[in-house]
Chains A and B, each alone.
Chain A
Amino acid sequence: MCGTCGCADPANEVSMTNPETGVKTLLKNGVDHGHGHKHDHDHDDHHHEGDDVPHMHGPGGEIISLEAAVLGKNDKIAAQNRGWFQGRGVIALNIVSSPGAGKTTLLESTIRQMKDEVEITVVEGDQMTANDAERIQQAGARALQINTGAGCHLEADMIAAAARSLDPQPGSIMMIENVGNLVCPAMFDLGEKMKIAVISTTEGEDKPIKYPHMFRAVEWVVINKMDLAPHVDFDEETCRKNILQVNPGAKILCLSARTGEGMDEWCAALGALQA
């Protein structure tokens, strides 16, 4: 493979596999992908891996070493958010899942169950509509909807604006319901105390190993729709095993936001975050 750009890295292949026949078809590999950069470098193909000192470079143009984090701007705002939340004693939680796992229903049930105990505010992230924020309001909590338009995730500056607008009370919990997506939100720190993934029994037991980046980024995993488990042949043990395979330290909570099963344990765990 090309060690310079990694373009033939097996990890970057796009392939199609027929599970019945086991036949794997390569749809795209790095070598023949036609991207524009040249590999015939005029400077002996050395990479300066770990070499952070700015330096001149032979007969060609100057090269400067940067090591600038691409998401540095987001990470900086996230760090400011984290300080803002800590200074006010607000627990911010970044809730992630695929669309339809039941994040909003879980939040509605949580708000109804905990409303006499602690203030919960909610920031809703969706591409379009304010439906979710309306549902949260009807459940009795203050909420803001962020519509990301074409965007696939929330970013720290959106949370900075939402938090200032919601102005959560000291000692409260702010739930950030991210855009339903198990890929991009893993990359973007919002300044939360932790990420919590919600998966549902109807999605199958192998979600955690299909989307390992996300399940590695979270501290808790909620398995929702446990009331449907018998009807969809959901194997809880296998699911737990898959979660722990990618994230051995994950705390796993099984519940049904619809029937209330397991909600006491979830609410107690949330309450304990304040202590």
Chain B
Amino acid sequence: MHELGLARSIAGIAQENAKGRPLKEVRVAIGPLACVERGALEFCWGLVTESTGIAGVGLRFLDADGDTFVVRELEFMEEA
């Protein structure tokens, strides 16, 4: 179940770069050779973000080439 560790890494990168601003969605680009199971990662994302500062933030997958596995974009909540 390395997806749990991967979800933690993604959450860490998102929190570090959001610098406290409210996030709406995290977009992760995954290539077919990245050895990442999207369903498992999705499941783990809910677990690791639960009761943290980014609880409820969406995780979306973007198709990419080769073994790409990067946090591509962060989308923030609309400013009130």
Contacts and interface: CB of A to CB of B under 8 A. Distances in A.
A66 B17 contact: yes
Most buried by B among A30, A72, A150: A72
Nearest to A213: B35
A152 to B, nearest CB: 6
A63 B73 contact: yes
B70 A61 contact: no
Nearest to A33: B39
A216 B32 CA distance: 14
Most buried by A among B58, B63, B71, B73: B73
A137 to B, nearest CB: 29
Interface string B15-53: 001000000110010101111011100100010000000
Given A6-B61, A67-B72, A152-B1, A12 B9 contact: no
A68 B71 contact: yes
Contacts of A113: none
Contacts of A153: 2
Chain A residues touching B, majority SS? loop
Contacts of A63: 73-76
A183 B35 contact: yes
Interface residues of B, number: 40
Interface in B55-74: 58-64, 69-74
Given A7-B38, A68-B71, A70-B10, A61 B77 contact: yes
A216 B25 CA distance: 33
A71 B35 CA distance: 12
A71 B63 contact: no
Interface string A36-72: 1110000000011100000001011111111111111
Contacts of B70: 66-70
A5 B41 CA distance: 13
Nearest to B13: A68
Contacts of B64: 49
12 contacts: A12-B39, A37-B25, A57-B75, A59-B78, A65-B72, A65-B73, A66-B73, A69-B69, A70-B13, A71-B69, A187-B34, A216-B33
Given A5-B62, A33-B39, 17 more contacts: A5-B61, A6-B63, A9-B32, A28-B39, A36-B42, A48-B72, A61-B79, A62-B75, A63-B74, A66-B17, A66-B74, A69-B70, A70-B28, A72-B9, A152-B1, A152-B2, A183-B35
